[in-house]
Chain A
Amino acid sequence: MELELRGITKRFPGVVANDDVNLTVRGGEVLALVGENGAGKSTLMNILYGLYKADEGEILVDGQPVKFTSPHDAIAAGIGMVHQHFMLVPVFTVTENVVLGVEPTTSFGRIDIGSARTRVAELSREFGLHLDPDAMTEDLAVGIQQRIEIVKVLFRDAKIVVFDEPTAVLTPQEIEDFFRIVETLTAAGCGVVFITHKLKEAIRIADRIVVLRRGKTVGEADPKTATQEALAEMMVGRPVDLEVDKAPPQLGDVTLRVAHLTVTDANGRAHVSDVSFEVRAGEIVGIAGIQGNGQSELVETLVGLHRAAAGTVALNGEDITTATPRARHRLGIAHIPEDRQRDGMVKDFTITENLALTSYYAPPLSHGINMQWDTARSEAERLVEAYDIRTPSTETSTGKLSGGNQQKVIVARELSRNVHLAIASQPTRGVDVGSIEYIHERLVDLRDKGVAVLVVSTELDEVMALSDRVLVMFGGRLVANLNRADTDHNDVGLYMAGAKGDFMPGDAPGDATPGERAS
């Protein structure tokens, strides 16, 4: 099967999202579509999937023009889409999610769940997906949930599969598994469109790479010869520095001291077990680890959102184990949360309002019970300027900005104060190349000014690029504490996978015995 998009143009009020885009994908090949956030990749795919209607241009399947007015038409034409945010019902079993909308039924609308289950198992085996048809979706890891989406597409006999930012939510291991699945798909004759802004992955898996910038196709590249630098330049429109430049650290006193910290959830399960480490002024400490190894709980406890079950946290020598989040803020802890839309901002608030969230209660932003909105607004204007937030105005609601600019709003709010310790969790997740460069520079700036910086990231590249010291978490414990200069990707990767370090395989995270130190 061959799919062609010819001269697609789509205008939204004020922007041309797609401008005369041409694209072809054939069965058996992987086409990578790269571009920054807001370059028009998602719009293009929504047109292809029948969710939007193009203003100009046509879609051809095997040379014949087709019209898609709903996802139904696209599915019928053999096009399947795996959305970035999965379209799965959490309380359904794998099979129920797969058959929804195309249920095989017997009499009285009864679903023939038996034959559906058999088909799901068959597809799972054929494409090496290792899915249990009866597993409950919400119990499965994100990487496995993505496979349900793939089976959904295959169950509907798709010949062209579109993946929208499929690796954004995956761990390094899951990404490798995902690439293997893509190879199985192409071997079976399916065409794959792989939308991403991660250039390394595009080069790794694609047969052809098409670069999109501001709604236009600006070039096509051969992954065999293309370099990340060249692609990044095509994508952003100017040379981009993918390395982080930094001088050797000037170490100061210990700013953050964490001792024997244990964090449990409501069911008594320990997510962080007896973790001890220090962060000194003027250094960047990176915490590497596969998602779900206790990093989120550790950060939440450090900023006061979670109660420590045991152990202590001290900032500049002062015990803050039981301090409230606001008290910690006032002591100079900045927090860039991992899920910015959930924990970092209020989507429907304006930029001014979001910027005022941590300081609204005291002068100069408030006077008695009155908010000083004029002051807040001029302060917001200053920060929008200083932090290069791209927005029509400070009164735009923050949810309307691109991911990178939303993140810059949070960075501006958190780092524009007098900060002693900056905790950045997944600071560049879902952020475009230009903004990544910017946020990294800011973090290095802070360190050079003598701030203690703690970066938590599941992107190993990011941890390795930024850190002066690398900690690795596995199973809720700290399994490594390494100088950046003495280690490499491979070494840290082994710790992340639990293949190295003093973690005993039989150790359940729940039986932490105080007094026993990790690494």
Chain B
Amino acid sequence: MSTPTEIYTDVQLAVGRSFEQVRRARNLGIIYLILAGVAAWVFTGHQGSATFNLDGGRSFGVAATPLAWIVAGTLAVLGGIQLARGLGRWQSAALAAAAVVFVFSLLAWAAAPRSFAFVGMLSQSITFSTPLIFGALAGIMCERSGVVNIAIEGMLLNGAFTSALVGSVTTFWVGVVAAMITSALFAWLLAWLAIRFKVDQVIIGFFINFFVAGLTAFLDNRVLSSNPGYNGVDTLKPLKVPLLHKIPILGPVLFTQTIFVYTAFALVAFLAWAFRSTRWGLRTRAVGEHPKAADTLGVNVNRMRYRNVIAAGAIAGFGGSWFTANVGRFREDITDGRGFIALAVVIVGRWSPVGALSGALVFGFFDALKDKLGFLKTGIPGEFIGMTPYIATIVVVAGFAGRTRAPKASGQPYESQ
């Protein structure tokens, strides 16, 4: 005689799925149905068609209500399949596709019956993701070598402040260099306390964050606000990449950006290559995963960590100066928690530069979407719209990054015998 539990178990074993996978598939199915419900109830509420403006005066129109019904139907079907038997290896691809059509339907609903600059929003997504890319790369460099750096926020903020102050009195690029040097000094402080004195790295990170936040706020109030000459740099103009900027849609989105954006992309490519193919990369990974093995093979563990953390500080300082360059001046708490989002991006990107790039782009997109929804007067309270990027980050971290693995020795001080 078999009990119901045993029969259930036998069925699971027969189809080769574990309880874990079954539960995950079921939860996803429920999420699809909820999204389908939102599309059916809410996105069908605006009549008329939304006009998506592209570059060069082109545009296309979408009838919001029929689109919402189609999207709701598709999501409901996906949810049904997911609940009934799972989508197997198409699960992630289906989820990503569903997210794209859902957001598209959301945009159509929000814009109808008016028009809005679709390509402008995409371009802005890239702009907004830039500081996150730098922050996340700084985080990756530290964590891959075994040091947890939650002080990215402080280093970005310091970069923004220093580049504003020094950039105002001298020239902008001197300010950027000063930002890199000072943030590298904070990084050195982190490394020194963590390596030499084995202070808990999270505590040092918090200390640096609070210290920088307090100091820059104080100096902003006391010095910058009464001396406008100390807080004003020229905003950076986009540079058009020859020829490439003429490509429709991609041109304005990817190839009409500031030097910061191009630097970010270049740095992602460089670090991805360096981690994989260079001596530095191999040793950094060894030191972050199994420092004792590296030590017995003659790799100086702590020197690797010092170098990486300090270089990461310089990257974060450079990324911080983006905030100042973006609006032309410093203001209190200008980074607005981007350093912490960068930490989430590190995890979503699974400690890889290319992964971090994609994570940063997703966040940048929702950040730009938030701005757009604010303009479009959808009736959603502004506070909720403001939450969009953060909620999206939580969903992405929980949904896609469930099974990530941090460098094994991350956060652990190393002491040789």
Q: Footprint of B on A, CB under 8 Å?
A: 46, 51-52, 70-72, 75, 81, 83, 87-92, 96-97, 99-103, 105, 108-111, 113, 152, 262, 264-268, 270, 309-310, 510, 512, 514
Contacts and interface: CB of A to CB of B under 8 A. Distances in A.
A268 B278 contact: no
Interface of B: 2, 6, 9-10, 12-13, 16-18, 20-21, 277-280, 282-283, 285-286, 289-290, 292-299, 408, 417
Given A89-B289, A92-B285, A266-B18, A109 B279 contact: yes
Nearest to B18: A268
A110 B276 CA distance: 9
Contacts of B299: 100-101
B290 A75 contact: no
B289 A110 contact: no
A268 B16 contact: yes
A270 B13 contact: yes
A91 B13 contact: no
Given A52-B417, A510-B16, A310 B6 contact: yes
B298 A72 contact: yes
A111 B278 contact: yes
Given A96-B282, A268-B18, A91 B277 contact: no
Given A89-B289, A111-B277, A111-B279, A267 B18 contact: yes
Contact of B298 (A75, A266, A309): A75
A91 B285 contact: yes
Contact of B2 (A102, A111, A510, A514): A514
Q: Which 8 pairs between the two chains have the least Cβ-Cβ distance?
A: A101-B297, A87-B293, A268-B18, A72-B298, A109-B278, A109-B279, A89-B290, A103-B279
A206 B251 CA distance: 72
A99 B282 CA distance: 9
A463 to B, nearest CB: 30
Contacts of B278: 105, 108-111
Given A87-B292, A108-B278, A510-B16, 14 more contacts: A46-B417, A51-B296, A87-B296, A89-B285, A91-B285, A100-B282, A100-B293, A101-B294, A102-B298, A262-B13, A264-B13, A264-B18, A268-B18, A309-B9
A90 B12 contact: no
11 contacts: A52-B417, A71-B297, A90-B290, A90-B408, A101-B297, A109-B278, A110-B279, A265-B18, A309-B9, A510-B13, A514-B6
Q: Which among B2, B279, B280 has the greatest number of chain A C-beta atoms within 10 A?
A: B279
Contacts of A101: 283, 294, 297-299
Contacts of A265: 18
A310 B279 contact: no
A89 B21 CA distance: 29
A105 B278 CA distance: 8
Nearest to B22: A268
A115 B192 CA distance: 38
A309 B14 CA distance: 12
